[in-house]
Each structure stands twice: as structure tokens, then as C-alpha cells.
């Protein structure tokens, strides 16, 4: 049974959640909309389709402490960073970002399990929001994602005056237990309208032929990587806005009162990525560019039941200063030459 909430009551509903749990939602700060802590003074922006950075930071933060070392002479005290123990709610996640959590799970919850990520997944409740107005840069349908029926612990649909909720897990049901019941059919028109837009988007039917795992060497050796990568600046913007990128570096910082070891997002597009004493395994921008997209479209699906490491959110299309993004790669290399 679905639940409904008049939009005029949304602030009170969010306030009720925030009284017992940390609430993270799309809020506007400094002219940008990102997922951040919600308070009564926050500017909530559920009307914005895509935040600048994805929602993955709620589970895989951009910077995260791992361990602290205190040194006194030859004695070293080790203090591992604590994992999250408090519940939180991630509100207003779009279908593409929700799918990215499933992909990140395959990385961080596989053996050996990452304890920091696992704790956040265990304590987080994901509330998704259907995409009423998909944009021309969206191409999530190519990866089996339905913006009209988002996954999550609690799915939501917004009309002009009402929010409708469908609980998918016990955590989701607990959030809306006190709301009024309604019939499933009340959102059918909204869903049909969203799907009609999705089917008309210019990138809704990309040809992914040729990126299957058994074409690995053919794609790797394709001479067109040289031309495709030529305009790449190696700025890493695409990786930092991407919901599924999971590369990170581990660094030590001397605070003057001990050593702080932390991990932070990194990018395979950077020239010093995985830099070691002998140098780096990918000394040219072409090799770094190829690695990023081979991982998204070939390596990851070949090792994960055919699931691509892209959710079609379109952030890289909007942010790449050279318009040199994954859609260009798919359109250029997607069809086998002998097809």
C-alpha cells in the first residue's frame, strides 16, 4: 500500500526525521546543489534533477580518516578511526544514483569487506525520487534504469501538490508509517509521463554492441583511442562527478600532534595516479583515457555479470570542458567493425 504526503507538510515531515536521524538531502549552498546535511534553515531543492556531485559521497566520502598514529619516542599508539554507528536518511536520490550504490556494493562489500562503507550502508536509509523532468544529457535507460520507478528503501513520486511513497524495505516502511494510505494507481499518470520523456531523449538508444567481455582485446587494441583521447585535459572532472568511480588514494598527514592517515578520491585520469618509485604504469594520456572507459564498459561488466559501470546520469556530459565523454566513446567504438 502506498502512502501520500501533501507537499505543504513536507518541511514538518523532514523535521520529524531529523529529530531522530541525520538527514542528508539536495540542498543549495553557494549557488550549487549537492547532498548535504538538512536543517530547518536549509534550502531544499527537490526540483533540481541532478546534484553537481552524486549521492555516493554519503557512503564513500570524498575524504575519510582511516587511522591515527601518536608517537612518543620509539612508542607508537595506533587509533583506528571509528566506523559509523548512527542511523541516517539520504533523501531525494534519483534512480541513476540509486543504481550506483549497487555497483559500489560490488566493490566495497566484496571480500575483504570495507568496514567504513559497510557501516554506512547498514545505517543508511535511501529515499529515492522519480525524475519528473529528465534532461537531454540523461541516458540511464541504456543500462536498464527506469527513472519513473526508482529503487531504494523508499521510492517517492512528486506531483504539483503531493508526494507519494512506496516502501520497499522495513527501513523505508518505518519512515512513512504514520502517513495516509493511498492507491497505487494515483501515480500511474506521472510514471507514464516520465517514461514518455525518457523514450524520446536523444541518447535513449545507444548501441553498446562490441563492449561485451569477449571483445576485450579488440576494444583495447582499437587504434581510435588515440584520436578519442587527444582532446582530454586529464583534469579528472568526469571522475569526481561520476556516481560509480571508486578510485582512491591513501595519504598521511602530520598534524603536529600525530599522523593522520586518510583516504581521498583519486582519478585514473591524473598523470600521477598510482605513481610509484619506478613511475606509473600508464605514462600517456591515451593510456589513462583508455583505462577509464575500458573499465566502465568492458572490464567491469566482464567481471560483474554483464553490468556496466555507468548509470547514464549525464554528469560527465555536462561537466567535461572538452565534451570528451563516455557517450563519444560508445558511439565511436560501440559497433564491431565487422558488423
* pLDDT at 338 exceeding the cut of 60: no
Per-residue pLDDT at 337: 47
> Could you report the per-residue pLDDT of 3-60, keeping only the tens digit for each?
999 999 999 999 999 999 999 999 999 999 999 999 999 999 999 999 999 999 999 9
Average pLDDT over residues 130-148: 97
Q: CB-side exposure of 308: number of CA atoms within 13 Å?
A: 24
Output the DSSP codes for 39-77: -TTS-B-TT-SS-SS-GGGGTS-SEEEEEEEEEETTEEE
> Could you report the per-residue pLDDT of 94-112, keeping only the tens digit for each?
999 999 999 999 999 999 9
Residues 6+ apart with CB under 8 A from 143: 99, 308, 310, 311, 312
> Could you report the per-residue pLDDT of 161-172, keeping only the tens digit for each?
999 999 999 999
Domain range annotation of the chain: 2-60+84-200, 213-333
3 state DSSP class of 203: coil
Per-residue pLDDT band for 339 (boundaries 50, 70, 90) equals very low
* pLDDT at 212 exceeding the cut of 90: no
> Could you report the per-residue pLDDT of 270-287, keeping only the tens digit for each?
988 877 777 777 889 999
Neighbours of 214 (CB within 10 A): 8
Amino acid at each position: 500500500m502506498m502512502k501520500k504526503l501533501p507537499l505543504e507538510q513536507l518541511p514538518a515531515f523532514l523535521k520529524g526525521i531529523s529529530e531522530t536521524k541525520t538527514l542528508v538531502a539536495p540542498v543549495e549552498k553557494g549557488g550549487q546543489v549537492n547532498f548535504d546535511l538538512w536543517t530547518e534553515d536549509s534550502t531544499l531543492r527537490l526540483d533540481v534533477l541532478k546534484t553537481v556531485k552524486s549521492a555516493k559521497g554519503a557512503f564513500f566520502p570524498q575524504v575519510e580518516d582511516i587511522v591515527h598514529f601518536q608517537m612518543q619516542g620509539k612508542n607508537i599508539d595506533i587509533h583506528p578511526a571509528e566506523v559509523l554507528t548512527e542511523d541516517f536518511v539520504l533523501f531525494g536520490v534519483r534512480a541513476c544514483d540509486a543504481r550506483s550504490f549497487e555497483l559500489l556494493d560490488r566493490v566495497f562489500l566484496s571480500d575483504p569487506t570495507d568496514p567504513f562503507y559497510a557501516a554506512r550502508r547498514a545505517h543508511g536509509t535511501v529515499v529515492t525520487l522519480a525524475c519528473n523532468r529528465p534532461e537531454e544529457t540523461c541516458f540511464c535507460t541504456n543500462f536498464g534504469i527506469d527513472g519513473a520507478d526508482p529503487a531504494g528503501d523508499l521510492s517517492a513520486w512528486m506531483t504539483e501538490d503531493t508526494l507519494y511513497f512506496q516502501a520497499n524495505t522495513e527501513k523505508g516502511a518505518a519512515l512513512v508509517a504514520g502517513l495516509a494510505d493511498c492507491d497505487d494507481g494515483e501515480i500511474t499518470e506521472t510514471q507514464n509521463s516520465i517514461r514518455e520523456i525518457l523514450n524520446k531523449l536523444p541518447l535513449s538508444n545507444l548501441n553498446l554492441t562490441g563492449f561485451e567481455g569477449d571483445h576485450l582485446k579488440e576494444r583495447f587494441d582499437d587504434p581510435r583511442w588515440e584520436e578519442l583521447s587527444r582532446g582530454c585535459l586529464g583534469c579528472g572532472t568526469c571522475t569526481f562527478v561520476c556516481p560509480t568511480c571508486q578510485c582512491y588514494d591513501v595519504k598521511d598527514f602530520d598534524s603536529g600532534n600525530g599522523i593522520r592517515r586518510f583516504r581521498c578520491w583519486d582519478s585514473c585520469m591524473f598523470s600521477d595516479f598510482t605513481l610509484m618509485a619506478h613511475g606509473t604504469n600508464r605514462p600517456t594520456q591515451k593510456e589513462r583515457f583508455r583505462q577509464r572507459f575500458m573499465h566502465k564498459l568492458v572490464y567491469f561488466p566482464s567481471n560483474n555479470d554483464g553490468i556496466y559501470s555507468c548509470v547514464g546520469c549525464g554528469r560527465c556530459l555536462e561537466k567535461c570542458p572538452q565534451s570528451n565523454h563516455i557517450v563519444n566513446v560508445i558511439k565511436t567504438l560501440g559497433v564491431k567493425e565487422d558488423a
